Amino acid sequence: MFKSVFLGSCFSLTLLTFNSFAQSSPETVEFAKKIPIADVHMHTYQQNPRSAAWWKEQMDVNGVKWGGAVGDYREDVQAELKDRFIPAIGQIAFFKVFFKDNTRGLIDPENPVFQDLYGRADKLFESGLVKGFGEFHTDNHTSGHPRIRRVIRTDNPAMRKFYAIAERYSGFVQIHAEFDKDFGKDILSLSADFPNVTTVLSHCLSANDANSLALLFSKRTNITCEMSATGEAINRILGLNKSPIAFNSSGPFKDWKKLIESYPDQVMLGTDPCCGADRGYSELISELRANLLPYFSPEIMEKLAYKNAVRIFKLKE
């Protein structure tokens, strides 16, 4: 059931794509093949799970040095990956509250499921076992199974408590949302009120709209995004008839190349191996190495591939 519930939840309809004017070089193509990668949207679900050893093997085969930053929080994966794991908590609780109490529950900090989570999270952060929250879907009104679609304000009392906990530990919150005026306002307020929290916007907001991201990045250095589900491979693997959002086999689209070059410290890589896409993990990584990374200078490529993640998630190189 969870499989179908999550199906497509991470994507939204895409807009028209534009021709890329990007160029790669033989040097950057080679560099991109071997650069270490931090996959900051790597789901390791408890439902129909792949073993912790399977994840480690996939990462090793594909040169992915670190992974995680979204749910589920799995102790077995953490034990296997050790400090290569970027542990995040809260995704299961968020779905549980939504199915039981709908959108009203999601904004209520007194909800018993959230109360329990706040308490557990605080202890896990304190002991260093967790570094952030997510993935929290606050607005996926055009994506996913109709049963999981919803829109809530991202700046709400329940979310403020997550940010307050993360603030104490300089942690992160990964949010799946679609851009509109309310979201822009909300995320700017949260990131101003909780300056030590890094917000990671899943799928770089799931639309071909690099300009909205540029606007947010220009105002807050603690707002970042990750590029999972913005290419073609995920659609191919899941059999979805969708256009890519940010890059294709000719490279990144013009606006996206400009975005990354203008804000090279605020964009990271991800794969989103949910809903059965885990079977195509190697293809998802290969696509990043072939169709996105080589179109940037080695310096920017390093930031995009892992250096931003190392800084934001305090990873060991």
In the complex, what is the shortest distance from the CB of residue 197 to Zn ion, in angstroms, rounded to a whole number?
19
Please give the DSSP secondary-structure letter assigned to residue 261. H
Looking at the Cβ atoms of 10 and 107, the one nearer to Zn ion is 10
Under rule CB under 5 A, residue 10 binds Zn ion: yes
Secondary structure of residue 200 in the 3-state scheme: strand
Whichever of 41 and 257 has its CB closer to Zn ion, that residue is 41
Nearest residue (CB) to Zn ion, 78 versus 202: 202
Question: Within 13 A of 272's CA, how many CA atoms are on the CB side?
Answer: 28
Shortest distance, position 272 Cβ to Zn ion, whole Å:
5
Shortest reach from residue 275's CB to Zn ion, in Å? 9
CB 76 within 8 A of CB 52: yes
> C-beta of 274: minimal distance to Zn ion in Å?
5
Q: Which window, 57-65, 140-148, 212-220, 268-276, contacts Zn ion (CB under 5 A)?
A: 268-276
x/- string (CB under 5 A) for Zn ion, residues 63-102? ----------------------------------------
In terms of residues, how long is the chain?
Answer: 317
By 3-state DSSP, what share of the chain in percent is helix, strand and coil, each rounded to 5? 50, 15, 35
Say if residues 243 and 282 touch (Cβ distance below 8 Å).
no
Q: Given the complex with Zn ion, which of 49 and 109 has the nearer CB atom?
A: 49
Q: How far apart are CA 235 and CA 303, in angstroms?
A: 26
Nearer to Zn ion, 10 or 225 (CB): 10
Site track 224-263 with Zn ion (rule: CB under 5 A), x = hit? ----------------------------------------
Q: How far is the CB of 9 from Zn ion (least distance, A)?
A: 7
> In this structure, what DSSP letter does residue 202 have?
G
Report the residue number, 178 or 272, with the smaller CB distance to Zn ion.
272
Q: How far is the CB of 21 from Zn ion (least distance, A)?
A: 30
90 phi and psi angles, rounded to 5 deg = 115, -20
Between residues 10 and 312, which has the closer beta carbon with respect to Zn ion? 10
Shortest spacing between CB 70 and Zn ion, in angstroms? 5
CA atoms of 37 and 254, how far apart (whole Å)? 23
DSSP-assigned letter for residue 306:
I
CB 224 within 8 A of CB 190: no
Comparing every residue's Cβ against Zn ion, the nearest one is: 10
Q: How far is the CB of 67 from Zn ion (least distance, A)?
A: 13
Stretch that binds Zn ion, among 108-116, 129-137, 141-149, 257-265 (CB under 5 A): 129-137
Contacts 24+ apart (CB under 8 A), 45-52: 45/2, 45/6, 45/71, 45/72, 45/274, 46/72, 46/74, 46/92, 47/1, 47/2, 47/3, 48/2, 48/3, 49/74, 50/278, 51/76, 52/76, 52/77, 52/79, 52/80, 52/81
Q: Where are the beta strands (DSSP E) in the chain?
A: 37-39, 64-68, 85-86, 88-90, 132-137, 172-176, 198-201, 223-226, 247-248, 251-252, 267-268
Least distance (Å) from Zn ion to the CB of residue 202?
A: 6
Nearer to Zn ion, 80 or 135 (CB): 135
Using CB under 5 A as the binding rule, the residues of this chain from 130 to 189 that contact Zn ion are: 135
Shorter beta-carbon distance to Zn ion: residue 144 or 264: 144
- Which among 29-37, 88-96, 231-239, 264-272 is the span making contact with Zn ion, rule CB under 5 A? 264-272
How far apart are alpha carbons 56 and 85 in whole angstroms? 10
Residues at the contact surface with Zn ion, assessed by CB under 5 A: 10, 135, 272
